[in-house]
């Protein structure tokens, strides 16, 4: 009993951090209608800045209080910059664009922190007292209580601010309709900026106080956004009190779960507790929140003027694909071995990126679980061989089917909600899969990775170790690359064809306007599920191909931050266009563009961080100046010209008729 | 009298504290165009939302004798309801023809799968007849963003008619059109009605409504205050005081939508 109390109270610290982030999420939503994926990164930024000021990283060390004050000033400045770069330019943009912008901020700030401060976790000097108090005879650090008290006070203060001040009233009015906020006498820009500064300073403050308790790490802190999103969902992105309470409860249950994992009854594997239970619980919490609160989630009355990226027609496909395919085929034979490997990997990544084109470009939902699904397919493949001796082609078929089913189940849990909330479920699912499946000593590949046999058909080796070598006589064999090329081209044509057909039209109808789609007889849920099934299917195929490409499956390749980078790079290039998927694929980790960079430009150890930096910055620039995506913008221009010349005469003719010329 | 294609009985809708509709009965019979008028906020749009399943309501809704009151919106559409939106709401990523194609066909799963594996373009459903019926066949290849407000309204209507619905509910199709365009629209509607599609027509242009409809229902504060033939409704003192105001005259246009 005493240990239970102790551990419950020890959870208050991390619960407070989650609460700080959840408050930031609620403030972002209320201020600008953004689901702010970067709210977790705010804690990281504040924590590192404070650490640097306290420890003399910048050449001078400050006392605690001045360091806190300076950090909070910095956070206000940071909020203003984020607001001007990633929020204000998108005020009238679609919810998906706003969401993606916060993803850009997350990628960019994490990359910057990693570059400046390195990736090793730091010990932040503690701010709060190290004293302990005795509760029911158990000694508990006072800091836990102080922290929890501070977030509760913050939540109460914010609630009061919203209830009693003109700023709060205007914000509430603004989230119903921007027009009514203007009537309240405050411009939406001011409201959004005010909430943003409030959010960053409040979250940052909690981050500074808690950094010594939860640990300062640029890789783990940003992901605290997931439990915070769960809490925010329960709060319907509105109530500070609920967000705070649920966060503290999550912190407490986390701590209890940790304690329980040392008990004898806790499920174990190879003598140690099974990992990832906490992440699975968080995922389930989010699913429950969506089912319970889903249909009542507030829809903001923002004026959406700029819609989602245009979707150019996919015409003259063969003429476009052939040259690229031939170039790839040649490259797969003549290039030196590391470049051959990179081309093959680029082809596989292309398939993965095509899945983002389907779910983001066509259905208009942000899903980040695909890379994890690819990993699942790879591990299933490896296990079917290792444990049951099932090989090619049955094993990949089963692996693809299993991962696709898993993907559909995850997608189905977000069906009740409108808007872009799928991202919350898929993010939580990705982390849960990473921690529960990949980190499992039996199911995952451990440090070395799980081996995969090369595919063999009728005794013929189709894998990367086939006897047919590249021009320089070394591995990998072009055979697997050519096989991947064929698969990629087929799937590319499939996704392009999807756009032109009935299902594609229905997806785009759902993307533009779910109500109007339903009124046109479209079963919105069915279309979303079909979209999710196709995306999961593509991702699973990519997963199997990855496994054969590397001949091993290792958990490191399927991390959630890599998935976020990949999503972002598809969006930058053109999420509605299959060509965007191809370019993003060749820019993915292990593919051609990073290889070029690391061969001639950048230190190898930091290529992935620099890529993340480029992608995050590129995303923010693209959203600002070229919202359709780089490739889409040019394709749309071309298409408009073509259509105008085709239909120009007819248009003017009708425009002259009485009923047309309004 | 033939039995009604659309029969809505006792429709009540509450939005939080607002009783938007209370016990409204409306029937549309074959060949009829029924007008639904009333001041701003009377509950006209809410009635369409309730019938098409976008607003939670009590009461019963039948289409051609079939109870559709418990279906989800898309299923009601498939059962024969068509509707337009006050704010038009076209699919902005699709051309006009594609907008109509979405509504024109509800393929089975198997057709969908087959289409994914063959040239999808080839199986596009025909939509020309609906465009022609509204005189906008020249717009087929245009994007919604390139159209004028009046053209958008016509496309929205064509989309509601293209799937051969049993009855169509039109929410203010003439808002934003001038008098001539309104009259032209009235002719299109009359012709579509004579060709066999019954309609419920909401509009603030009462001249259009009285000239086009066979039967008119007047709503105020969510309740039916008058119903009957246009000529009778127009003379009803309650309608004149509630809707037209005391200075009622034949050619005023009330409560133009912003
Ligand atoms: N989604 C909603 N939530 C809350 N109240 C609503 C909602 N939609 C409509 N109302 C309210 O219900 C009442 C009826 O609105 P409705 O839109 O049906 O009127 P209307 O007759 O179509 O008016 P108009 O001529 O302006 O289109 C109004 O008081 C309106 O404020
Ligand atoms: Mg209305």
- Condensed to tens digits (0 to 9), the pLDDT of residues B68-124 reads 989 999 999 999 999 999 888 899 889 999 999 999 876 677 777 777 777 766 667
User: Which one, of A443, A442, A446, A434, lies nearest residue A379 by Cα?
Assistant: A443
Other CB atoms within a 10 A radius of the CB of residue A323 amount to 9
Instruction: Evaluate if residue B199 carries a pLDDT over 80.
Output: yes
Q: Does A308 touch chain B (CB under 8 A)?
A: yes
Q: Is B59 in the pocket of ligand 1 (CB under 6 A)?
A: no
**Of residues A403 and B148, more confidently modeled:** A403
Exposure letters B135-158 (e unless 16+ CB within 10 A, then b): bbbbbbbbbbebbeebbbbbbbbb
Chain A residues whose CB is inside 8 A of the B98 CB are 505, 508
Q: Above pLDDT 90, what percent of chain A? A: 42
Considering only the beta carbons, identify the residue of B115, B116, B148 that sits closest to A662. B148
- Three-state secondary structure call for residue A358: helix
Q: What pLDDT score was predicted for residue B50?
A: 94
Distance A511 CA to ligand 1 centre (A): 25
The per-residue DSSP string of A172-232 comes to HHHHH-HHHHHHTT--HHHHHHHHHHHHHHHHHHHHHHHHHHH-B-TTTGGGGHHHHHHHH
Q: Do B54 and A515 touch (CB under 8 A)?
A: yes
Least confident of A42-46, A296-300, A617-621, B238-242: A296-300
Angle at A21 between CA A20 and CA A23, to 5 degrees: 65
DSSP state of A361: I
Q: Do B93 and A647 touch (CB under 8 A)?
A: no
Q: What pLDDT score was predicted for residue B244?
A: 57
Residue A40 CA to residue A232 CA, distance in Å, equals 13
ipTM of the complex: 0.90
Confidence class for position A307, pLDDT limits 50, 70, 90: low
Q: What pLDDT score was predicted for residue A628?
A: 78
Instruction: Evaluate if residue A312 carries a pLDDT over 90.
Output: no
Q: Give the DSSP H or E segment for B205.
A: none
Confidence class for position A297, pLDDT limits 50, 70, 90: low
**Of residues A463 and B86, more confidently modeled:** B86
Question: Per-residue pLDDT tens for A201-216?
Answer: 999 999 999 888 888 9
Q: How far is CA A325 from CA A322, A435, A470, A482, A576, in A?
A: 5, 37, 18, 10, 21
Residue A85 CA to residue A92 CA, distance in Å, equals 14
Q: What is the 3-state secondary structure (H, E, C) of chain B?
A: CCCCCEEEEEEEEEECCEEEEEEEEEEECCCCEEEEECCCCCCHHHHHHHHHCCCCCEEEEEECCEECCCCCHHHHHHCCEEECCCCCCCCCCCCHHHHHHHHHCCCCHHHHHHHHHCCHHHHCCCCHHHHHHCCCHHHCCCCHHHCCHHHHHHHHHHHHHCCCCCEEEEECCCCCCCHHHHHHHHHHHHHHHHCCCCEEEECCCHHHHHHHCCEEEEEECCEEEEEECHHHHHHCHHHHHHHHCCCCCCCCCCCCCC
Residue nearest to atom 14 of ligand 1 (CA): B43
**Does residue A393 have a cis peptide bond before it, meaning omega lies within 30 degrees of 0?**
yes
With tokens 């959203």, the residue in question is A623
User: Which one, of A225, A167, A174, lies nearest residue A43 by Cα?
Assistant: A225
**β-bridge partners, A132:** A141
Q: Is B49 in the pocket of ligand 1 (CB under 6 A)?
A: no
With tokens 């595919």, the residue in question is A455
Helix axis angle for A578-586 and A478-500, nearest 10°, is 150
Q: What pLDDT score was predicted for residue B258?
A: 36
Q: Do B150 and A497 touch (CB under 8 A)?
A: no
Q: Is B256 in the pocket of ligand 1 (CB under 6 A)?
A: no
pLDDT mean over A64-77: 95
A446: alpha, beta or left? (left if phi > 0; alpha if psi -120 to 50): left
Q: Is B111 in the pocket of ligand 1 (CB under 6 A)?
A: no
Q: What pLDDT score was predicted for residue A182?
A: 65
Distance A291 CA to ligand 1 centre (A): 28
Q: What pLDDT score was predicted for residue A418?
A: 66
Q: Is B91 in the pocket of ligand 1 (CB under 6 A)?
A: no
- Three-state secondary structure call for residue A551: coil
Interface test with A, best of B51, B54, B55, B74 (most A CBs within 10 A): B74
Instruction: Evaluate if residue A114 carries a pLDDT over 60.
Output: yes
Residue B155 CA to residue B137 CA, distance in Å, equals 10
Q: Does A176 touch chain B (CB under 8 A)?
A: no
Question: Per-residue pLDDT tens for A470-525?
Answer: 667 677 888 899 999 999 999 999 998 888 888 999 999 998 888 899 999 999 98
User: Which one, of A275, A247, A279, A233, lies nearest residue A560 by Cα?
Assistant: A279
Q: Do A660 and B123 touch (CB under 8 A)?
A: no
> pTM for the whole thing?
0.89
Q: Do B177 and A657 touch (CB under 8 A)?
A: no
Q: What pLDDT score was predicted for residue B250?
A: 44
DSSP state of A122: B
Residues present in chain A in total: 662
Confidence class for position A70, pLDDT limits 50, 70, 90: very high
Q: Does B208 touch chain A (CB under 8 A)?
A: no
Instruction: Evaluate if residue B252 carries a pLDDT over 50.
Output: no
| Structure token pair of residue A439 | 């980190």
Confidence class for position A345, pLDDT limits 50, 70, 90: very high
Instruction: Evaluate if residue A619 carries a pLDDT over 80.
Output: yes
pLDDT mean over A185-201: 89
> Average pLDDT, whole number, for chain A?
86
Confidence class for position A295, pLDDT limits 50, 70, 90: low
Q: What pLDDT score was predicted for residue A431?
A: 92
Contacts of A590 (CB under 8 A, 6+ apart): A341, A342, A345, A349, A557
**Of residues A161 and A267, more confidently modeled:** A161
CB A344 within 8 A of CB A464: yes
Confidence class for position A306, pLDDT limits 50, 70, 90: low
Closest ligand 1 atom number to CA of residue B219: 21
Residue A490 CA to residue A478 CA, distance in Å, equals 18
Q: Do B89 and A516 touch (CB under 8 A)?
A: yes
Distance A170 CA to ligand 2 centre (A): 27
């Amino acid at each position: 009993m005493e240990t239970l109390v102790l551990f419950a109270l020890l959870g208050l610290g991390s619960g407070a951090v989650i609460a700080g982030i959840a408050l930031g999420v609620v403030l972002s939503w209320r201020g600008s209608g953004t689901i702010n994926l970067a709210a977790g990164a705010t804690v990281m930024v504040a924590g590192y800045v404070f650490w640097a000021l306290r420890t003399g990283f910048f050449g001078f060390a400050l006392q605690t209080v001045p360091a806190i004050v300076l950090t909070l000033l910095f956070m206000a400045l940071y909020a203003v910059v984020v607001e001007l770069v990633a929020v204000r330019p998108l005020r009238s943009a679609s919810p998906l664009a706003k969401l993606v912008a916060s993803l850009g901020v997350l990628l960019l700030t994490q990359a910057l922190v990693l570059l400046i401060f390195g990736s090793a976790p730091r010990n932040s000097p503690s701010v709060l007292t190290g004293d302990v108090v005795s509760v029911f005879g158990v000694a508990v650090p006072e800091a836990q209580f102080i922290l929890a008290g501070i977030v509760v006070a913050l939540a109460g203060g914010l609630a009061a601010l919203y209830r009693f001040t003109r700023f709060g009233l205007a914000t509430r009015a603004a989230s119903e309709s921007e027009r009514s906020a203007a009537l309240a006498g405050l411009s939406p820009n001011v409201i959004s900026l005010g909430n943003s500064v409030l959010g960053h300073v409040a979250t940052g403050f909690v981050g500074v106080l808690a950094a010594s308790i939860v640990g300062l790490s640029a890789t783990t802190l940003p992901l605290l956004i997931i439990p915070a999103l769960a809490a925010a969902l329960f709060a319907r992105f509105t109530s500070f009190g609920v967000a705070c309470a649920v966060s503290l409860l999550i912190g407490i249950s986390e701590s209890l779960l940790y304690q329980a994992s040392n008990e004898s009854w806790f499920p174990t594997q190879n003598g140690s507790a099974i990992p990832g239970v906490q992440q699975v619980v968080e995922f389930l919490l989010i699913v429950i929140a969506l089912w319970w609160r889903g249909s009542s989630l507030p829809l903001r009355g923002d004026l959406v003027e700029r819609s989602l990226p245009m979707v150019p027609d996919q015409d003259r496909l063969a003429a476009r694909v052939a040259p690229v395919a031939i170039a790839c085929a040649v490259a797969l034979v003549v290039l030196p071995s590391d470049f051959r490997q990179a081309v093959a990997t680029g082809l596989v990544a292309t398939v993965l990126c095509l899945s983002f084109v389907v779910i983001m470009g066509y259905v208009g939902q942000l899903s980040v679980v695909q890379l994890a699904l690819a990993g699942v397919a790879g591990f299933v493949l490896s296990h079917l061989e290792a444990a049951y001796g099932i090989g090619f082609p049955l094993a990949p078929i089963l692996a693809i089917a299993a991962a696709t089913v898993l993907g559909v189940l995850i997608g189905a849990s977000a069906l009740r909600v409108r808007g872009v909330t799928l991202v919350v479920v898929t993010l939580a699912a990705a982390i849960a899969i990473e921690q529960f499946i990949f980190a499992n000593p039996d199911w995952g590949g451990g440090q070395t990775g799980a081996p995969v046999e090369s595919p063999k058909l009728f005794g013929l080796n189709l894998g990367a170790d086939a006897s047919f070598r590249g021009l320089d006589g070394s591995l990998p064999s072009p055979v697997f690359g050519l096989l991947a090329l064929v698969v990629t081209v087929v799937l590319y044509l499939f996704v392009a064809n999807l756009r032109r057909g009935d299902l594609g039209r229905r997806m785009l109808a759902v993307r533009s306007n779910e109500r109007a789609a339903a009124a046109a007889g479209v079963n919105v849920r069915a279309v979303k599920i079909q979209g999710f099934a196709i995306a999961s299917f593509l991702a699973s195929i990519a997963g199997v191909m990855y496994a054969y490409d590397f001949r091993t499956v290792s958990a490191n390749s399927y991390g959630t931050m890599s998935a976020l980078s990949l999503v972002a790079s598809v969006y930058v290039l053109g999420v509605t266009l299959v060509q965007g998927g191809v370019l993003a694929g060749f820019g993915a980790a292990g593919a051609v563009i990073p290889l070029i960079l690391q061969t001639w430009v950048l230190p190898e150890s930091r290529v992935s961080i620099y890529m993340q930096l480029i992608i995050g910055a590129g995303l923010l620039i693209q959203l600002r100046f070229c919202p359709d995506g780089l490739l889409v913008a040019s394709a749309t221009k071309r298409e408009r010209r073509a259509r105008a010349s085709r239909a120009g005469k007819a248009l003017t003719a009708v425009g002259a008729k009485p009923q047309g010329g309004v | 009298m033939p039995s009604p294609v659309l029969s809505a009985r006792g429709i009540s809708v509450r939005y939080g504290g607002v009783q938007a509709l209370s016990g409204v009965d409306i029937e549309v019979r074959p060949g009829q165009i029924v007008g639904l008028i009333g001041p701003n906020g009377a509950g006209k749009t809410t009635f369409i939302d309730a019938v098409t399943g976008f607003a939670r309501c009590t009461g019963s809704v039948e289409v051609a004798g079939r109870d559709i009151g418990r279906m989800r919106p898309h299923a009601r559409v498939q059962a024969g309801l068509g509707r337009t939106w006050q704010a038009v709401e076209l699919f902005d990523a699709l051309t006009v023809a594609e907008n109509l194609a979405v509504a024109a066909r509800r393929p089975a799963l198997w057709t969908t799968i087959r289409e994914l594996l063959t040239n999808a373009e080839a199986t596009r459903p025909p939509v020309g007849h609906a465009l022609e019926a509204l005189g906008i066949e020249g717009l087929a290849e245009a994007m919604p963003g390139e159209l004028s407000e009046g053209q958008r309204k016509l496309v929205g209507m064509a989309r509601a008619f293209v799937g051969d619905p049993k009855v169509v509910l039109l929410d203010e199709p003439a808002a934003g059109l001038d008098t001539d365009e309104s009259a032209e629209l009235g002719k299109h509607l009359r012709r579509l009605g004579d060709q066999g599609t019954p309609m419920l027509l909401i509009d603030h242009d009462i001249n259009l409504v009285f000239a086009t409809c066979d039967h008119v229902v007047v709503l105020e504060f969510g309740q039916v205050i008058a119903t009957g033939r246009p000529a009778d409704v127009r003379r009803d003192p309650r309608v004149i005081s509630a809707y037209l105001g005391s200075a009622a005259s034949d050619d005023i246009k009330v409560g133009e939508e912003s």
